[in-house]
A and B are shown apart, each in its own frame.
Chain A
Amino acid sequence: MTALALPGRLRAPGLLLMLAVMLGGFAFATRDFTTPGNLLNILLQSSVLLLIALPMTFVILTEGLDLSIGAVLSLCSVALAQTALATGSFMAALSVALLVGGLIGALNGGLVAYLRIPPFVATLGTLGVAQSLALIVTGGQSVTGLPDSVLFVYGGSVLGVRVPILLMIAAYALMHTLLYRTRFGSYVFALGGNREALTLAGVPWRRILVMVYVLAGAWAGLAGLLMAGRLNSGHPTAGIGMEFDAIAAVALGGTSFERGNGWLMGTLLGVLTIGILRNGLNLLAVSSALQVCCIGLLVILTFTLEAFRTQTP
């Protein structure tokens, strides 16, 4: 649709420029950046972020926001770990994670769609609830001793390809199809672009809006599984700050916070940009505290470039 119909018009030249500069800079400044092992690492390290940044794009397209997604990820990962330990069943653990994420998403969506609480406020509230629950059920400790099936999700390979890479491809394909090939996807654009149009078309837009937040929560559940596999444990604070990376990735990708103007491929690029930045800074031995600052500056810089491009005719 929109995104695919624009081969001639580059959607996010600012982001592509930043990406090129960073790739060149890190390749020049570090010895290991361009090795195949490191490039694979960048992808692996980006996998969790992609799983939550994709649904975050949907939420932002509706002129919404989900601040709770990092905390929900933490909560899902510990719920999953505890269920896995208690039952030994991978499917039971995964179901619990999806269920917990979906329920908090439903709460977010209900607050936003039916009680008309601003998304920022509603999801800030559930952020606190989810984070607190994650700490309470674990007593603040990591849940370790996970079965191999959970570890396989991050560490395993199928036909020589690491599972997170397969998950990323599947997630992107699924979400792209959902956004650009289904009625639900059209409604997501319309929720941000013109809700009146949905009312006049007889579409129950509140229900659709709730579904968008449920989707975000459920994906946070899946991301919690990937995170648990990566950390070899369910960690109650593993997702702290992930909402920052996710929103930054969506913004970097050129999705606007108004009028349902967005681009899913841009979010993929945004996720990779953040992955590359973090990886390169790691190689340069920059502390993780300073990395967050760099991501923030990157967002501001990219938007400044865009502002200059669009405001000077």
Chain B
Amino acid sequence: MSAATKTPALAAASLAPPKLELRGICKSFPGVRALNDVSFSIWPGETHMLLGENGAGKSTLMKILCGAVSADSGEILYENRPTTIASPADARRLGIAVIFQEFSLVPHLDIAHNIFLGRAPRGRLPGAIDRARLYADTRRVLDMIGFDIDPRESVHRLGVAQQQMVEIAKALSQKARILVMDEPTASLSDRESERLFAMMARLKADGVAIVYISHRMAEVFALGDRITVLRDGKRVRSLMPHEATPDELVRLMVGRTVDMTYPRRFRAPGATMLEVRGLSAASGVAGVDLTVREGEIVGLCGLVGSGRTEVARAIFGADKVTSGEVRVFGRVHPGAPDGSTRLGMALIPESRKSEGLALIRTVGDNILLASLPSLFPSGLLRVGAGRDVALQIVKRLGIVATSLQQQVGMLSGGNQQKVVIGKWLAAKARLFIFDEPTRGIDIGAKAQIFAVIDELVAAGAGVLMISSEQAEIVHVCDRAYVMRGKRIVGELGRAELSEENIVRLGMHQ
């Protein structure tokens, strides 16, 4: 399979056997086919760039490489010999080190103990650590990457960039022959990035194979010896940098495969409901301007980590706002979540399970959760009245549940999402912020959720919708704002709204 699909250019370049070869790797999680027949080879002394949109399968591939998850099927060859990576220990034995974006560091241990966690040099007494060697070894690794810091410094005192350097040092200390990095420059300054690139060049000269995930086009072409594009869990193409232009890569990433038709009745928007001017927040988002009008679905897109959720939280008053103004229905937002609720604004968070729902409570309880004060101003519950309201919501949204008494945790993802929406409908919200409303929901339920959202705006609501799936934004939204690096970098009207434009704006050029 792999040999057949390899492009001629690649085959010619690969006289030596690959250091590591994945053949026909498949991996499914409940409800998602994360990787579908992916083949992928890494040669020593090369940097292999891995490209793909959110959800293309990059992180699953990384997890398979580091032994955190096992593939359902497919073969892994190390220097042409079949092997298995069933655990992190296996990966380490093969010399594979992975640097995730979420760091695997222990905050209240010092740098040296972190780098050698589980591998600290043994002292004379059983269980003891040879501290002299520990700190000397650490010093040597830190010097290798030119990181001038006291190895005794506790990791929780370090900034993100410094923690990134510690992660890299940790990987190097394992004498890694295959180094996998997930957007390592995302949190580094230009100077720190330059130093990282210099170090990568040294490693390559030393024969180390590097797998590098990036969203920055400049890096892809400056660093990559080979590029593999993933989309929807499949490998689209592997190619050499000179074989493609940035625009072609974007097209490969986006593709035209996703077939989604969500019925949407577009109509002229009404009065402004939400007006955000120059909003900056402690979470890092800066200078955000946006508006949402009656009857509109406005998209907020960008790569994971571009600051979309932070914008939603700042607007809602869940994060501390440092400057700027949020007006809801013309009134200045007081800057606290309960103020939002009173103004008729609802935030429907990404993680329904942790933030939006009380899973062990019943459907009825959850629907009424946000409207208890308005329904029962005296504080005494009237069960009958509550049930009427909840039943009305269940009927209106088509929630499939055995009764109001069913536990929400037993419902499907799509129905859980409807319960969250119902909760805010019961509370008479008119401005909805959805953060990834369709994550973890199957295709059929997605269409239903969008039908509900469309109905909401048809009835005069306004919606701000965050989604990582560009196709959804393109199909569903009237307009969309694109974010990059915690700022809004562009607004796309209905006519310009395409996946290419979103990706082009959202990627670092």
Question: Could you say which of B92, B106, B128, B153 contacts A5, with CB atoms under 8 Å apart?
Answer: B153
B360 at the interface (CB under 8 A from A): no
11 contacts between A and B (CB under 8 A): A5-B110, A181-B129, A181-B131, A182-B128, A183-B127, A183-B128, A190-B106, A197-B114, A200-B66, A202-B87, A202-B118
Q: Which residues of A does B touch, CB under 8 Å?
A: 1-2, 5, 181-184, 186, 189-190, 192-194, 196-203, 259-262
B377 CB to closest chain A CB (Å) equals: 35
Task: Tell me the nearest residue of chain B to A197, going by C-beta.
Answer: B104
Which residue of chain A has the shortest Cβ distance to B127 in the bound complex? A182
Distance to closest chain B CB from A263 (angstroms): 9
* Size range of the chain B interface in the assembly: 20 to 34
Q: How far is B154's CA from A259's CA once the two chains are assembled, in angstroms?
A: 13
CB distance from A175 to the nearest CB of B (A): 13
A14 to B299, CA, bound (A): 49
Given contacts A193-B107, A197-B114, A201-B117, 20 further A-B contacts (CB under 8 A): A1-B113, A2-B110, A5-B110, A5-B152, A182-B127, A192-B108, A193-B106, A193-B108, A193-B109, A194-B107, A197-B105, A198-B117, A199-B68, A200-B68, A201-B119, A202-B87, A202-B89, A260-B107, A261-B156, A262-B108
Question: Chain B residues near A182 (CB, 8 Å)?
Answer: 127-129
Residues of A contacting B153 in the complex (Cβ-Cβ under 8 angstroms): 5
Q: Which residues of B contact A197 (CB under 8 A)?
A: 104-106, 114, 117
Q: Complex: how many Å from CA A196 to CA B87?
A: 13
Q: Give the interface SS of chain B, mostly helix, strand, loop or mixed.
A: loop
In whole angstroms, what is the CA distance A162 to B259 when docked?
Answer: 82
Contact: B104 with A194, CB < 8 Å?
yes
Shortest beta-carbon distance from A36 to chain B in Å: 37
Q: Is B441 an interface residue (CB 8 A)?
A: no
Least CB distance from B335 to A in Å reads 18
Q: How many angstroms from the CA of A184 to the CA of B110 in the assembled complex? A: 15
Instruction: Identify the interface centre among B105, B109, B128, B153: most chain A CB within 10 Å of its CB.
Output: B109
Cβ proximity bits B77-108 to A, threshold 8 Å, 1 near / 0 not: 00000000001110010000000000011111
B186 at the interface (CB under 8 A from A): no
Name the A residues within 8 Å of B318 (CB-CB).
none
Query: Which of A192, A194, A262 is the most central at the interface, judged by chain B CB atoms within 10 Å of its CB?
Result: A194
Q: What is the chain A residue whose CB lies nearest that of B116? A: A186
In the assembled complex, the CB of B361 is this many whole angstroms from the nearest CB of chain A, namely 20
**Is the CB of B458 closer than 8 A to any CB of chain A?**
no
A6 to chain B, nearest CB (A): 8
- Determine the residue in chain A with the shortest Cβ distance to B156: A261
Contacts of A192 in B (CB 8 A): 108
- Complex contact B120–A183 (CB within 8 A): yes
User: Pick the contact of B104 from A1, A184, A200, A261 — CB < 8 Å?
Assistant: A200
Question: Nearest Cβ distance between residue A12 and chain B, in whole angstroms?
Answer: 15
B119 touches A2 (CB 8 A): no
Judging by beta carbons under 8 Å apart, are B107 and A1 in contact?
no
Which residues from chain A contact B150 at a C-beta distance below 8 Å? 5
Contacts of B128 in A (CB 8 A): 181-183
- B118 touching A189, Cβ below 8 Å: no
Interface residues of B (CB under 8 A from A): 66, 68, 87-89, 92, 104-110, 113-114, 117-120, 123, 127-129, 131, 150, 152-154, 156
Closest to B125 in A: A182
Complex CA gap A261/B113 in Å reads: 15
Once bound together, how far apart are the Cα atoms of A194 and B114, in whole Å? Answer: 11
* Residues in B whose Cβ lies below 8 Å from that of A181: 123, 128-129, 131
Report Cα–Cα, A184/B128, bound state, in Å: 8
Cross-chain contact A189 with B88 (CB below 8 angstroms): no
* Complex Cα gap A39–B105 (Å): 43
Contacts of A183 in B (CB 8 A): 118, 120, 127-129
| CB neighbours of B113 from chain A (8 A) | 1, 186, 189
Whether B104 lies near A186 (C-beta < 8 A) is no
A202 touches B109 (CB 8 A): no
The docked-state distance in angstroms from the alpha carbon of A203 to that of B381 is 52
From A184, A190, A199, B88 is in contact (CB under 8 Å) with A199
User: In the assembled complex, how far is the CB of residue A205 from the closest CB belonging to chain B, in whole angstroms?
Assistant: 10
Chain A nearest CB, measured from B261 CB (Å): 40
Neighbouring B residues of A200 by C-beta, 8 Å: 66, 68, 88, 104
Closest to B97 in A: A200
User: What distance in Å separates the Cβ of B495 from its nearest Cβ neighbour in chain A?
Assistant: 46
- Assembly CA distance A260 to B108 (angstroms): 6
Inter-chain contacts of B89 with A (CB < 8 A): 202
Output the least CB separation between B141 and chain A (Å). 16
Q: Chain A CB within 10 Å — which of B89, B117, B123, B156 has the most?
A: B117
- On whether the beta carbons of A201 and B156 are closer than 8 Å, the reply is no
B119 partner residues in chain A, CB cutoff 8 A: 201
Which residue of the partner chain A has the closest CB to B122?
A183
Contact residue among B87, B92, B117 (Cβ-Cβ distance under 8 Å from A190): B117
Q: Give, as a whole number of angstroms, the nearest-CB distance from A290 to chain B.
A: 36
Contact in complex: B106, A260 (CB < 8 Å)? yes
Q: A181-B128, A184-B127 are in contact. Are A201 and B118 (CB under 8 A)?
A: yes
- In the complex formed, the residue of B with least CB distance to A202 is B89
A310 CB to closest chain B CB, in angstroms? 14
Cα separation A74 to B153 with both chains bound (whole Å): 41
Cβ-defined contact, A261 with B110, below 8 A:
no
Option from A184, A189, A199 in Cβ contact (under 8 Å) with B109? A189
Q: B residues within 8 A CB of A262? A: 108
In the docked arrangement, what's the CA distance between A110 and B109, Å?
26
Tell me the complex Cα distance, A184–B88, Å: 20
Nearest CB of chain B from residue A124's CB, rounded to whole Å: 21
Interchain CA distance A27-B87 in the complex, whole Å: 61
Kindly list the 9 A-B residue pairs having the minimum CB-CB distance in the complex, ordered from nearest.
Answer: A201-B118, A193-B106, A202-B89, A197-B104, A190-B106, A182-B127, A203-B118, A5-B152, A2-B154
CB contacts (< 8 Å) of A186 on chain B: these are: 106, 109, 113, 117, 120, 129
B113: nearest chain-A partner, CB-CB: A186
Inter-chain CA distance A262–B107, complex, in Å, is 11
A174 CB → nearest B CB, Å: 12
CA distance in complex: A233, B87 (Å): 53
- A261 near B127 with CB under 8 A, answer no
Chain B residue at minimum C-beta to C-beta distance from A61: B108
Query: Within the complex, what minimum Cβ distance (angstroms) separates B138 from chain A?
Result: 12
